[in-house]
Amino acid sequence: MRILSHLATQRGPVAAATLATALDLPRSTVYHLLGVLQKRGFVVHLPEARRYGLGVAAFELSGGFARQQPLSRLGHPLLAELVDQVGESAHLAVMHGRDVLYIVEERAPHRPHLVTDVGVRLPAHLTASGRAMLAALPKGQVRALFPDASAFVDRTGSGPTRYRELRTLLDAVSTEGYATEDGEITPGLASVAVAVSDHVGWPAASVAVTFPSDTHSERTTLVAAVSAAAAELSRRIGG
C-alpha cells in the first residue's frame, strides 16, 4: 500500500531503487512487492526505462472510490455539525500529488464564498489542510514531492518557497497536532486543520475550518472542535 500510495503522488513512473530509498525499504523487498503488484495489475513495468508505474487495477480502484465516495458520505454530516458548533465554514480535503483536492464543503451562514469548492485543487504547502496531511507523511515522501524550488507554487506572496522552510512548518504541525495558514490562499482569511488518519496512521484526509483573520484571536476552541471532528472521522473509517 505504501508503494501504491507513493506511485500515486508521482508525475510519472519511477525506478525501484527510488522507491526503496523514498520508503526506506530493502531493494529486495521492493522488487518482490512490485512483482506481486505487477501480477495483480496494480503496477506496470516499463523495461526500457527500468521504471514502474500504476496499472489498470489501480485505476479501477480510483473509479470505485469516485462512485462510492465513502469519505464524502461519512464526512458530510460531521462537517455540518462542526459548522453549527463554530459558526465558520468547514471543508474536507484529500492529497492529490502536491495539491489538496476538496471533496466536501459546508459553508456557514453569512460567511463569504470560499475558493475551496468541491473539486477544487490548491497547493498543499500553502493550505492548512495540506500541511496537516504532509506533516503525517514520511519525510522522504515529502522531500520527493518537493525536490526543488520549482515545486513551490506562490499565490499571495507568502508561504514556504523551499523545502527547509516547509520542513520547519511541518515539524511545528507535528508538535502542535494541527496546522494553520493565514492569508496564504486568500488574503484576510485564515484556516486551521487536522489530519484524518486511517487504520495504519496514514493521512487519508484532513478537516479544516476557514474564518476571517481578524476573528478568533483565541483559537483553542476552534482547534478543539476541528480535532474532535477529525478524530471521529478517523474512527468511522477504521483509523
Asked if the model's pLDDT at residue 104 lies above 80, the reply is: yes
Asked if the model's pLDDT at residue 115 lies above 80, the reply is: no
Q: Enumerate residues 6+ apart whose C-beta is below 8 A from 83.
A: 89, 90, 106, 107, 108
Q: Beta-carbon neighbour count of residue 138 at 10 Å?
A: 14
Provide the pLDDT for residue 181.
Answer: 95
Residue pLDDT, tens place only, 11-69 = 889 999 999 999 999 999 999 999 999 999 999 999 888 999 998 888 777 666 655 56
Provide the pLDDT for residue 68.
Answer: 56
- Which range among 75-84, 106-115, 217-226 has the greatest average pLDDT? 75-84
Asked if the model's pLDDT at residue 76 lies above 60, the reply is: yes
Mean pLDDT of the region 131-142:
94
Provide the pLDDT for residue 64.
Answer: 67
Better-scored residue on pLDDT, 137 or 157: 137
Has this prediction a pTM greater than 0.75?
A: no
For 196, the grid coordinates are 484524518
Residue 235 CA, chain-centre distance (Å), reads 18
Q: Beta-carbon neighbour count of residue 206 at 10 Å?
A: 31
Q: Provide the phi-psi class of 53: left if phi over 0, else alpha when psi is between -120 and 50, else beta.
A: beta
Provide the pLDDT for residue 67.
Answer: 58
What percentage of the chain carries pLDDT values higher than 70?
A: 95
Provide the pLDDT for residue 75.
Answer: 92
Burial level of 147, CB count in 10 A (0-12/13-18/19+)? Answer: exposed
Lowest mean pLDDT: which of 37-51, 112-126, 129-143? Answer: 112-126
Residue pLDDT, tens place only, 200-230 = 788 999 999 999 988 877 789 999 999 999 9
Mean pLDDT of the region 168-197:
95
Mean pLDDT of the region 79-92:
95
Provide the pLDDT for residue 65.
Answer: 62
